[in-house]
Structure formats: structure tokens, C-alpha cells
A and B are shown apart, each in its own frame.
Chain A
């Protein structure tokens, strides 16, 4: 019975992991197109190109699997998996509804989630180093620099929520959540979401894959399924960052009729945030490398520290 339960939770997480990133990807296709006055994919699948990403996947699967002659073979081939799988593990720990509606309730869930998400960036660094290509290396190093800068405000913002809740467990944080946390933690939410975007290397923080100057950064030498895995990891990343922001700062499953519709609230908040991710991508131009670093250290870190102080003061005041 216990084994069956575990298997079921794992399979459900896997299904979510395989389906929702594709939904987000399709949404990005269509939303971006309409924001630019285009239609986007219209043919694949018949109705408004709903099967575009399926068709893309089939195309990627048909492509030849190429490893450059000078590449570090093993690391090169492993990198996409290292980049993709952490998001699956993170998804396992994100609570979807009240009363244990979660893949696996982990006591130090917040810690686990942040640590594992950092691993995903290592995959990109591996790809950049192993490709034996100067553009890949530049992209990989930029990824590393970006990770170093943005991990700090992200962790500080998350720590503020953990402090407010008095627990590191994600379901525990949601159990302790009150509506007034929304204005209380809003700065932290902004910092966390922005830093999450930067960690995913989504525009406007996509300097590591800036195609106009370093081709496609760490992914330059990749093709076929491995390349598709990197793209999938980006969309899985959007899902995870949106879901985490929803859990930590928007109250996750809290909402009217949370007992029955908790999962729906969680899904709605996640997708609303994913829409914002796409919206930001369409609207803003890419930040230059120095602006990128400056923004992290001069804007986000002080903001996160300020949030931490505010949380501490209010926590002491109401305790």
C-alpha cells in the first residue's frame, strides 16, 4: 500500500513534469505571437497549432545526435540530463493542495528545493565547458557568474518567508500562511521571482545565451534530443519558479473553497506567474552583462536584506 502510494505520487509528478512545461511552451508561442501582432503556430494539430511542440519534439527526435570531436564526450552527453532532472525533483516537493497533496513532504523542503535548483545551473555550466567551443565557454561562464550573483538574493528572499513561517517545510509554510503575508512579503516576492528568472536565463536576463553575440551560449554545439532537453528544462524551470513563487509568496492553494479547489488555485497562480514570465520576455530588451551583475548586487541584494529585516521586526512585534 505504501509502495503503491509512492509510485503513484512519482508517476503523477512525472506526468505533470511532462505536460505542464509543454503547456507553458505553447502558451509562450501564442502569447508572444499575439503580443507582437502575429498569429504564431496555426497548422500543427489543426486547431490554432495546439500540437506545435509535439511536432517540434518529433523533429528533434529525428535529428542526428552529434558530439563535437574536441568535446569532453561524457560530460557533454550528461549535461542536458543534469540540467533537466533537478526540476523534476523540485516538482516532487511542491505542495499542490491542502492536507498532504504533495509529491513528497520534506521537512527541509525549502532548503532542498533551492539546493536542487542550483544543480540545474551546473548542467548548463557543464555544457559550456565540455563543448570545446569558445562561445559555449563564454556562455557557460556567464551562466556561472549569473548563478553566483542571483542565488544570494533568491535565498535571502526565501529565507524571509521561512522566518515568517518558522519552518522550512513547504506545506508547513502554506499552513502558516495568512493573507497579510501578501503585502508583508511583497518585496521578497519580487526579488525571488526576478532572481528566479535570472537563474533560468530567461529574457531580459538571457545574457548567457545572447544569440546576437555568443550564438546560443552553452547550447551552441547541441542538437537533436539533447538540445530539446535543454529547451524543456527552461520551460520546466518556468513552471518550478512560478510554482515556488506561488507557494512562498502568493499563498499557494489558499483561496475560496481551498479544501476542494486548492489545487485549482495553485494551478491558476502558477500559470498567472508563468504568463508574467512570458510577458516580461516579450516586453523588455536584454540586459547587458554589467547591468545584469549591477542589478543583482545593487538592487536585489539590498532589497532582499531589507525584506529580511522587515520580516524580523514584524515577526518579533507580533510574537
Chain B
């Protein structure tokens, strides 16, 4: 059983109900948005990790990464050894007016030098100013959130496992040394106490 005008009344009820609900609008410049850690805001560069392998610049679909570098010769460590060469980064710039935020550069970087940062407030009034150089990209590194924690039962990451094994070995060696010469250790302790 439906009366004529029921639909009209329902419409009125919907708008009235919406009015009494709290609006979800976030007043952006006054209230910063809470962005998920994996937001694609801007690409940050950890230039200490960069080896100028050029993979990012080559894989970039619109070629918006500019890299300049030169080779430096390191003097040989030993008399008979060859002199080593090393790449030195001169310029690393990303043109964010071309960048399409695909993240391929970050995916391909083999040395973990590029990261996503949720920082998004870098609009400029001139399009040319959207090409950001290495110092700016390095600064954005501080806004990169920590990687998400591992699952509780996850396997230990390889780097940490290696580091821990090395540390354990050192600790064991130290303990063995201490057990072998207990006398000397006490002496040294006393000396330390006197000082």
C-alpha cells in the first residue's frame, strides 16, 4: 500500500537526515589531512645511496629525471693494487611538471636511494620551478615514513640476520677471551676504578 507523495516525503527525510549528520569535510589549510604512509606525494632522494647507475633516469617513462656525474679516481690502497674509480653525483633533479607519479624509478632503484614521501605541498607559481634539485629531494627524505613493521611471525630480514650473526660472533669471541684471561680483566677493572 503506497500513497501518492510517499517518494516526495522520503526525499525530504533524506535531506533532513543529512543535515543533522556531522559533515566529514576536513578544512584542509587549517587541518592537515591524515595520509596513509604509502601515499604518492613526492619522490625523495637519499643521495648517499645513489651510485649513479642511471637506471631510474632510463626507466622513467617521460624522462623527467636529470642526472649528471663524473668519475673520480681513488688512489690505490696498497702499492700493488689498481687505482679505483667511483661515480660522483653532480646533479640529480626531477621535473615534477612532467612526472606522472608512476613510481617506476623507485621500483627499479637497486640501492634504495629513491622513496615515496606523502609530502604534497610543493605547488609553484612557475612551471619551471617544479624541477627540484638534489638538495630539495634530499630534504624530502626526512618526511619519508618508516617502513611498515613486519608481520609478527615473519622471517628476519636478511640484512638484520647477517648483522646479528656478525655481532653474535664478536660477542662470543669477546666472551671467550674474557674467560681465558680472568686475572688480567680484574686488574684492568681495578685500574679503571682508581682512575
Contacts and interface: CB of A to CB of B under 8 A. Distances in A.
Interface string A277-310: 0011011100000000000000000000000000
B18 A37 contact: yes
A38 B18 CA distance: 10
Contact of B23 (A31, A38, A280): A38
A283 B12 contact: yes
B18 A35 contact: yes
Contacts, number: 32
26 contacts: A33-B23, A34-B18, A34-B19, A34-B23, A35-B15, A35-B16, A35-B18, A35-B19, A36-B18, A37-B18, A37-B21, A37-B23, A37-B24, A38-B23, A38-B25, A39-B23, A39-B25, A39-B27, A279-B12, A279-B16, A280-B12, A282-B15, A283-B14, A283-B15, A284-B8, A284-B11
A39 B28 CA distance: 12
A42 interface: yes
Interface string A1-38: 00000000000000000000000000000010111111
B15 A279 contact: yes
Contacts of B8: 284
A204 to B, nearest CB: 10
B12 A31 contact: no
Contacts of B14: 283
Q: How large is the interface on B (under 10, 10 to 19, 20 to 34, 35 or more residues)?
A: 10 to 19
Contacts of B15: 35, 279, 282-283
Contacts of A284: 8, 11
Contacts of A42: 27
B14 to A, nearest CB: 7
Contacts of A31: 19
A63 B8 CA distance: 41
A308 to B, nearest CB: 23
Contacts of B23: 33-34, 37-39
A217 B70 CA distance: 68
Nearest to A34: B19
Given A38-B25, A279-B15, A280-B12, 16 more contacts: A33-B23, A34-B18, A35-B18, A35-B19, A36-B18, A37-B18, A37-B24, A37-B25, A39-B25, A39-B27, A42-B27, A282-B15, A283-B12, A283-B14, A284-B8, A284-B11
A46 B25 CA distance: 18
Interface of A: 31, 33-39, 42, 279-280, 282-284
Given A37-B24, A39-B23, A42-B27, A283 B18 contact: no
Interface of B: 8, 11-12, 14-16, 18-19, 21, 23-25, 27
Contacts of B27: 39, 42
Contacts of B18: 34-37
A283 B11 contact: yes
| Centre residue among A35, A280, A284 by max chain B CB count within 10 A | A35
B36 to A, nearest CB: 23
A34 B25 CA distance: 10
A35 B12 CA distance: 10
A291 to B, nearest CB: 14
A159 to B, nearest CB: 26
Contacts of A280: 12
Q: Count chain A CB atoms within 10 A of each CB in B12, B18, B19 and give the residue with the most.
A: B19
B142 to A, nearest CB: 32
Nearest to A284: B11
A283 B7 CA distance: 11
Contacts of A37: 18, 21, 23-25
Nearest to B14: A283
Nearest to B27: A42
Contacts of A33: 23
A36 B16 CA distance: 10
Contacts of B12: 279-280, 283
A17 B18 CA distance: 31
A34 B23 CA distance: 7
Q: Which 5 A-B residue pairings sit nearest by Cβ, starting from the closest?
A: A35-B15, A34-B19, A35-B19, A283-B11, A283-B15
A37 B24 CA distance: 7
Centre residue among B8, B14, B18, B24 by max chain A CB count within 10 A: B18
Of A31, A279, A283, the most chain B CB neighbours within 10 A belong to: A283
A297 to B, nearest CB: 18
A38 B8 CA distance: 22
Nearest to A42: B27
Contacts of A36: 18
A285 to B, nearest CB: 9
A146 to B, nearest CB: 21
